[in-house]
Structure 1
């Protein structure tokens, strides 16, 4: 099975996290944490900074690794490094996503998450409780 390595930013502002709805493909309209594929020669952190700039016209500071999600989709295996991140500059302009929301812990279940992204929601709830 093909392995796809990606990174995702859990962009945090106080007790809220930023999520986007896919604007294309089989999972169009499903929610995810923004990010994308790691290119040859990039570290995961470098890839995340590049992807967020390309997708959201925003500069972020990448924080600690939350978890690496391993998930089998029907046609490929996804390996996704999820990092805490914060906005340093920019306004989170949607260039690829069809929608975006700031979600509190109580709102995390209000959207339809992509299957791989869904697996980290419980850990995020615990972190949002612990840190706020």
Structure 2
């Protein structure tokens, strides 16, 4: 039986661009682009985990404005449950410490990047929200 991992992701928007980060060069998702976040630790709410992860990974304080989508995705070596939230920056400059690269991308520009499969439904949801 595959390992099941539950994570949270921050969808941070500035104008018509979203903050996206490139994963480090290891594991099944090496060098894939993603919305940053991380694992939920025991006893944490989704919101607490997301605030902690963004502080640890990007040295930035965020506030969570609303829930966006939950994605269930089966990777080859693990099953992922990812809860994505729309977030705002309170303080900090999104300094990358755990990623190879980061960019502010429009929804259309995201088509040119190799995103992790579980992040694709988030992009689809953002495009849908833009249309309504």
For residue 110 of structure 1, report the CA deviation from its aligned partner.
1.4
Structure 1's consecutive aligned runs of 4 or more residues displaced over 6 angstroms after TM superposition are: none
Indicate the residue corresponding to 1:87 in structure 2: 89
The answer (yes or no) to whether the contact 1:105–1:128 under 8 Å persists in 2 is no
Indicate the residue corresponding to 2:53 in structure 1: 51
Unaligned runs of 5+ in 1: none
Indicate the residue corresponding to 2:15 in structure 1: 14
Indicate the residue corresponding to 1:68 in structure 2: 70
The answer (yes or no) to whether the contact 2:107–2:123 under 8 Å persists in 1 is no
Unaligned runs of 5+ in 2: none
- TM-score, structure 2 as length reference: 0.93
Take 2:130 and 2:60, find their aligned partners in 1: how far apart are those partners? 23
Take 1:54 and 1:103, find their aligned partners in 2: how far apart are those partners? 22
Root-mean-square deviation (Å): 1.2
